[in-house]
């Protein structure tokens, strides 16, 4: 039986998320009510007239069609709906990798994208985004990580937690590299569509090469984390390989949540546009806040997504600092050490609409006490 590691990032959230005043470390954009979603999209969901029967395993036709239009050459048959992006991660890892295989994982990165594989006997080789290199990926380093056992390369773009991005030239290089070595390439794109400070939108890997895998979520760029709906966009042979595993998990995604997700996807420019406006306002404040603390943090500004990963200049026990934030200041921020195996960093999310400036003010107060 597989013994799964403690998912420390999510364990940290589970411990404090519903107790604190400010969820400053969240990687999701601001949530909304059903009423607000309907106002933004101009559509309503007919709950009373909707069947509560299950949809087919790959998802409802309407949702698969709506998501497929986000890809330039998308087709519904290449989209598979899952009960959250976490299930998508689980299904892909279980269907692609076996004990004795190796995979290359961008690091730091959302831990589920590699930890499940390691727990199942896959050797994980970290492709480091180094702070001293401004979190830019070193494509030459990638060459040193590959051998005959390597079956998969996983990156997430924009990156969680650093906010680093890969644009078309780097992604094309990744595609050519993976094809040259016969390795499957998977890009987790849950932050797709969210830009920082007027920067570029990251392209989907599926728009560059149709043999690749992309995963997405309604939780992050869309801000609809309560739906627990994700998806996989991939070649049909990849999707066929995971179907029998899905029969042991959720079989199919919840029907009502798929209906709401369909409305959001049909109007994704409006939904993501609303979230982008909130993020832009918060980021303007965050830059000012960081500018006043350039003696505390060595900050590499993010380029995409709703999170950033500032590094303390002095040696700081980030577990202790984040514990103090949660328990004494009622602000939840994940520690770089406990959550990402990266001591000296904290992750700040700037996509939430409620009380961002107040939360940052409390962090400032905590720093004054902790560092004195």
d(CA 204, CA 83): 21
Q: In terms of C-beta density within 10 A (0-12 exposed, 13-18 middle, 19 or more buried), how is residue 219 classed?
A: buried
d(CA 102, CA 69): 33
Query: pLDDT, tens digit, for every residue of 54-68?
Result: 999 999 999 999 999
107: Cβ–Cβ under 8 A, 6 or more apart, which residues?
Answer: 114, 126, 127, 128, 129
What is the per-residue pLDDT for 349? 97
- Please report whether residue 289 resides in a domain: yes
Query: pLDDT, tens digit, for every residue of 180-237?
Result: 999 999 999 999 999 999 999 999 999 999 999 999 999 999 999 999 999 999 999 9
d(CA 158, CA 304): 5
What is the per-residue pLDDT for 28? 96
Is 163 found in the same domain as 134? Answer: yes
Give the pLDDT band of residue 1 (cuts 50, 70, 90).
confident
- Please report whether residue 43 resides in a domain: no
What is the per-residue pLDDT for 20? 95
153: Cβ–Cβ under 8 A, 6 or more apart, which residues?
Answer: 103, 104, 127, 142, 174, 177, 178, 183, 184, 185, 186
* Buried/exposed 13-34: b ≥16 CB within 10 Å, e otherwise: beebeeebebbbbbbbbbbbee
Q: Is the dihedral of CA 303, 191, 309, 186 positive or negative?
A: negative
| Mean pLDDT, the chain, integer | 96
Q: Is the dihedral of CA 39, 43, 49, 52 positive or negative?
A: negative
- Please report whether residue 87 resides in a domain: yes
- Please report whether residue 3 resides in a domain: no
Is 259 found in the same domain as 117? Answer: yes
d(CA 26, CA 308): 11
- Please report whether residue 38 resides in a domain: no
d(CA 118, CA 6): 12
Cα 361 to Cα 116, 213, 339, 369, distances in angstroms: 37, 41, 23, 13
Query: pLDDT, tens digit, for every residue of 231-281?
Result: 999 999 999 999 999 999 999 999 999 999 999 999 999 999 999 999 999
* Number of domains observed in the structure of the chain: 2
Query: pLDDT, tens digit, for every residue of 78-104?
Result: 999 999 999 999 999 999 999 999 999
Instruction: Find the CATH number of the domain harbouring 353.
Output: 3.90.1150.10
Cα 116 to Cα 177, 252, 301, distances in angstroms: 24, 21, 30
SS3 154: strand
- For 36-188, list the strands marked E by DSSP: 79-82, 102-107, 123-128, 150-156, 184-188
Mean pLDDT of 99-116: 97
Neighbouring-strand partners of residue 154:
105, 186
Query: pLDDT, tens digit, for every residue of 151-184?
Result: 999 999 999 999 999 999 999 999 999 999 999 9
Is 336 found in the same domain as 316? Answer: yes
d(CA 117, CA 199): 33
Domain boundary among 251, 267, 283: 267
- Please report whether residue 45 resides in a domain: no
Is 117 found in the same domain as 27? Answer: no
Is 137 found in the same domain as 263? Answer: yes
Is 109 found in the same domain as 252? Answer: yes
Q: Please count the CA atoms within 13 angstroms of the CA of 176 that sit on its side-chain side.
A: 7
How distant is the alpha carbon of residue 276 from its chain centre? 16
Is 279 found in the same domain as 133? Answer: no
Is 254 found in the same domain as 314? Answer: no
Is 309 found in the same domain as 226? Answer: no
d(CA 99, CA 300): 37
Judged against a pLDDT cut of 80, whether residue 129 lies above it is answered with yes
Mean pLDDT of 325-342: 95
177: Cβ–Cβ under 8 A, 6 or more apart, which residues?
Answer: 139, 142, 143, 153, 183
Angle at 250 between CA 88 and CA 246, to 5 degrees: 60
- Domain residue limits at 113: 53-267
Domain boundary among 228, 244, 267: 267
Is 248 found in the same domain as 301? Answer: no
Is 215 found in the same domain as 185? Answer: yes
What is the per-residue pLDDT for 78? 98
- Please report whether residue 183 resides in a domain: yes
Is 161 found in the same domain as 99? Answer: yes
- Please report whether residue 46 resides in a domain: no
Domain boundary among 237, 267, 297: 267
What is the per-residue pLDDT for 152? 98
For the chain, give the percent of residues with pLDDT over 90. 94
What is the per-residue pLDDT for 73? 86
Give the pLDDT band of residue 291 (cuts 50, 70, 90).
very high
Instruction: Find the CATH number of the domain harbouring 181.
Output: 3.40.640.10
Give the pLDDT band of residue 353 (cuts 50, 70, 90).
confident
Mean pLDDT of 98-126: 97
């Amino acid at each position: 039986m597989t013994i799964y590691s403690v998912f420390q990032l999510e364990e940290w959230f589970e411990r404090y998320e519903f107790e604190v005043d400010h969820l400053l470390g969240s990687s999701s954009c601001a949530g909304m009510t059903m009423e607000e979603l309907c106002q933004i999209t101009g559509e309503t969901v007919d709950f009373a007239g909707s069947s509560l029967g299950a949809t087919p395993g790959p998802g409802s036709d309407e949702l698969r069609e709506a998501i497929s239009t986000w890809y330039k050459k998308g087709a519904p048959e290449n989209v598979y709906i899952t009960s959250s992006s976490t299930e998508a991660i689980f299904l892909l890892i279980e269907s692609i990798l076996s004990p004795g295989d190796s995979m290359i994982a961008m690091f730091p990165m959302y831990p589920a994208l590699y930890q499940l594989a390691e727990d199942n006997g896959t050797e994980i080789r970290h492709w480091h985004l180094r702070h001293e290199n401004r979190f830019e990926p070193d494509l030459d380093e990638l060459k040193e990580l590959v051998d005959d056992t390597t079956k998969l390369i996983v990156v997430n773009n924009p990156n969680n937690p650093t906010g680093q991005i890969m644009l078309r030239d780097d992604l094309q290089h990744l595609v050519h590299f993976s094809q040259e070595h016969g390795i499957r390439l998977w890009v987790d794109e849950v932050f797709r569509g969210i830009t920082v400070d007027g920067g570029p939108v990251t392209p989907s890997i599926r728009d560059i090469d149709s043999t690749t895998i992309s995963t997405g979520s309604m939780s992050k760029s869309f801000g609809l984390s309560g739906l627990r709906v994700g998806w996989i966009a991939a070649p049909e042979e990849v999707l066929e390989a995971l179907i029998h595993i899905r029969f042991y998990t959720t079989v199919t995604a919840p029907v009502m949540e798929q209906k709401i997700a369909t409305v959001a996807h049909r109007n994704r420019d409006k939904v993501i546009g609303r979230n982008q406006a909130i993020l832009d306002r918060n980021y303007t404040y965050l830059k000012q806040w960081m500018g006043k603390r350039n003696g505390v943090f060595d900050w590499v500004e993010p380029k995409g997504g709703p999170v950033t990963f500032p590094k303390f200049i002095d040696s700081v026990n980030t577990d202790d600092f984040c514990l103090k934030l949660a328990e004494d200041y009622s602000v939840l921020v994940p520690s770089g050490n406990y959550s990402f195996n990266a001591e000296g960093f904290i992750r700040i999310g700037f996509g939430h609409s409620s009380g961002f400036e107040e939360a940052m003010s409390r962090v400032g107060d905590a720093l004054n006490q902790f560092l004195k």
